[in-house]
Structure 1
Amino acid sequence: MKIELKRVNDAVHFEASSPSSTVKVHIDGSSEIGGQGLGVRPMELILMALASCSSLDLITILQKQRQNITGFSASAEGKRTETIPHVFTSIHLTFQLKGDVDPLKAEKAAQLAVKKYCSVHDMLASAGVDITYSININEAHGKIESAVL
């Protein structure tokens, strides 16, 4: 696996690319170091990587179980240390599912997606990051919450 990173301006705005895609990702630093809000920040990319990695697996598992997903979104919120280098100490993922989805199948699929198949989870967890998740299905069915060990 390989990526390329190019500086775009005289500040800290970068453009990242990968041979596997034509999409360019814009990355920028905080305003304290000259960032201008022209891209996501590196630690936000970590949250995006965790949410997308586990979501890809969650959707794939539920589709194989013939669950009818008509809507999906995910969010990730991380807490960081106060001292430099401000690493993540905990991250909570929230999966929003809509459609005809069995809550027990969704719970098992989320557990497998996050704990077993998501390599980003394993990398962060091995560094001591506490990762938890919750699932909301159609909001009328209530909320299923689980901790990832």
Structure 2
Amino acid sequence: MHASVKWVEGDTFLGRSASGHNVVFDAGKDSAAPSPMEMVLMSVGCCSSVDVVSILQKARQKVAGVEVKLSAERAESAPRVFTKINLHFVVTGEAVSDNHVHRAVQLSAEKYCSVALMLDKTVEITHSFEVVETVGK
């Protein structure tokens, strides 16, 4: 895997993946784009969400939506690494089983999400979920 990051101006940088996709980063106080740490936090949420959606679909659950609400704590002094991250999944759908969601979140956390598993070596990562029924909506 390869990528590059190029300084644009001020505290703004442009990341480019080997697949040709661009991402803007901004580390300034009045930023116009996510900071590198925000990108890491969103990356763990996306990685885990991909797993949860895939696992629930394979289990033939009638999932209409999956959102993960992320919260994190950082060290007070430099380096301001993450010390805690919580991923709270909100799964919407028709007759979606709590047991299936629990298992999907657990499998992502323990086996599949490479971003979370990499961070888990130094960060306390917790998971929670809720299922919202969409019948009649």
TM-score (norm 1): 0.84
For the aligned residue pairs, the C-alpha RMSD in angstroms reads 1.5
> 1:14, 1:88 → 2: CA distance?
22
Where in structure 1 are there 5+ consecutive unaligned residues? 141-149
SS of 2:32 mapped into structure 1:
coil
Matches within 5 A, 1:70-85: 70-85=64-79
Aligned to 1:13: 12
Following superposition, the deviation at residue 103 of structure 1 comes to: 0.6
Q: CA deviation at 1:30?
A: 2.8
Gaps of 5+ in 2: none
What does residue 112 of structure 2 align with?
A: 117
Q: Percent identity?
A: 38
1:145 match: none
- One-letter amino acid of the counterpart of residue 61, structure 1: I
Contact 2:89–2:130 (8 Å) recurs in 1: yes
The CA distance in 2 between the partners of 1:88 and 1:121, in whole Å, is 12
- For residue 102 of structure 1, the aligned residue among 97, 105, 112 is 97
Higher relative contact order (CA 8 A, sep 6+): 2
Point out the structure with the larger strand share. Answer: 2
| One-letter amino acid matched to 1:3 | A
The answer to whether structure 1 residue 3 and structure 2 residue 13 are counterparts is no
Count of residue correspondences? 133
1:139 Cα offset (Å):
6.8
- Paired position in structure 2 for 1:23: 21
- Distance of 2:4 and 2:23 partners within structure 1: 10
Does 2:48 align with 1:54?
yes
Pairwise CA distance, 1:73? 1.0
Structure 1 segments of 4+ aligned residues over 3 angstroms from their partners: none
AA partner of residue 105 (structure 1): H
The separation in 1 between residues aligned to 2:75 and 2:38, in whole angstroms, is 15
Query: C-alpha separation between the residues in 2 aligned to 1:67 and 1:113?
Result: 17
Distance of 1:65 and 1:12 partners within structure 2: 45
Give the drift of 1:77: 0.9
